[in-house]
Amino acid sequence: MHTSVRRALLFLFISMAVVAADAVPLPNTGLQVRKLTHNSYSRPYMIYRPADLPPHPAVVFMLGGIRSTPQYVAHDFNWDGLADRCHFLVVYPDPVQTDTTKPKNRQENITFWEMRGSRTHILAPGSKPVDDNGYLLAVLSDVFRRDHPDRHRVFFAGFSSGSGMVQLFASLHPRIVSGIVAVATPLMDPPARLAQPIPVLYIHGDNDEQFSGFETHSPHFATTPHGNWVTWGYLDGCHKQTAEKTDWGVRFSWRECKDDVSVRAYFVRDLGHEWPGTLDSHWNQEFHHSHPLNFTVMAWDFFASIHPR
């Protein structure tokens, strides 16, 4: 079947995944809340629409970690100002709380993304499962229907639990996702192969308390069962690795990848479980005044370098 036909059929399928969606009446630009119900769970997402958008802009989906909400991620990660300058859409999806029978609580009933091999949701008797994969397909379909972004420039970025979900989603739907940036968590359940190669930027700190920087400290990190940057290189059919020391750590790159996709990894010295560039990040202030990092800007620079397929 021709690629364009497969793509058309795939988007027809995901458009059927939206159970109910409508927009809160707001101006056509700025930050908007859009109601959406999936598998009987109310999961409104937020979208930022800059002024002066081109007819078919790129779109970035930003997934936060545990305890996150669309409002928190939109406030903390500073994508909106960058979207204003570079003219793209930003989408903030909604993770579900641990116990679905109780309200969200950032301390006792935290939200998270199901990335396999990690946390699971507590469901009411007889209720449907929390299907994050299906929910993201539904959000994506709604965004395409309402905002008409470029289907060849659909990008996903994620932090912590969101990083695991971004990688899982991309591995399941490589023909939909144009590129990913994954920070501070690996892919917990890598596939045996991909239907199509995916550009990847993978970032981890060597002081990350969540995973102890296992990629840099373990002599066997290349064969870890987790989907780290090495795994993505193999999945993307790459053949050679290079390493370059930087002011902040080490930059790795795969070369000679299938379809010339880019696979990079940044391992950052002294960085714990955080995203430099967010409002609550302390890495730049405490360690590297002279060489500050902004992962949001780095993520967009990576996305902007990807040639549409």
Q: How many domains does the chain have?
A: 1
pLDDT tens, residue by residue, 207-229: 886 654 444 444 444 434 456 88
- Total residue length of the chain: 309
Which ranges of the chain would DSSP assign to H, the alpha helix? Answer: 3-15, 70-76, 79-86, 132-147, 161-172, 214-217, 229-235, 283-286, 295-304
The mean-pLDDT minimum among 30-39, 91-100, 182-191 falls in: 182-191
pLDDT tens, residue by residue, 158-173: 999 999 999 999 999 9
CATH classification at residue 12: 3.40.50.1820
Nearest alpha-carbon partner for 44 in 102, 104, 109:
104
Nearest alpha-carbon partner for 77 in 46, 103, 107, 55:
46
Domain annotation covers residue 122: yes
- What residue numbers bound the domain in which 293 lies? 3-304
pLDDT tens, residue by residue, 224-270: 445 688 899 999 999 999 999 998 899 999 999 999 999 999 999 88
Q: At 190, list the tokens.
A: 């890598």
pTM (predicted TM-score): 0.87
Q: At 131, list the tokens.
A: 């299907």
For the cut 60, the answer to whether the pLDDT of residue 307 exceeds it is: yes
Q: What single letter denotes the amino acid at residue 89? A: L
Q: List C-alpha distances in Å: 160 to 24, 44, 130, 208, 284.
A: 29, 21, 19, 10, 19
